[in-house]
Amino acid sequence: MDTKRRVVLITGAAKRIGATIARALHAAGYDLALHYRHSRGEMDTLLAELEASRPNSTLAVCAELADIEHLPRLVDASLARYGRLDGLVNNASAFYPTPIGTVSVPQWNELFASNAQAPFFLAQAAAPHLKSVRGSIVSIADIYAQRPLARHPVYSMAKAALVAMTRALARELAPEVRVNAIAPGAILWPESGKPYTDQTELIAHTPLARTGTPEDVATAALFLLRDAKFTTGQVLNVDGGRDLVI
Q: Does 82 qualify as catalytic in the annotation?
A: no
Please answer whether residues 93 and 12 qualify as being in contact, where contact means their C-beta atoms are separated by less than 8 angstroms.
Answer: yes
Q: Which residues pair with 115 in a beta bridge?
A: none
Please answer whether residues 71 and 64 qualify as being in contact, where contact means their C-beta atoms are separated by less than 8 angstroms.
Answer: no
Angle at 199 between CA 196 and CA 200, to 5 degrees: 125
Report the distance separating Cα 171 and Cα 211, nearest Å: 33
Of the candidates 36, 144, 155, 196, the residue annotated as catalytic is 155
Q: Which residues pair with 10 in a beta bridge?
A: 34, 89
DSSP per-residue codes, 162-229: HHHHHHHHHHHSTTT-EEEEEEE-S-SPPSSSS-TTHHHHHHHT-TT-S---HHHHHHHHHIIIII-T
Report the distance separating Cα 92 and Cα 11, nearest Å: 5
Residues annotated as part of the active site: 155
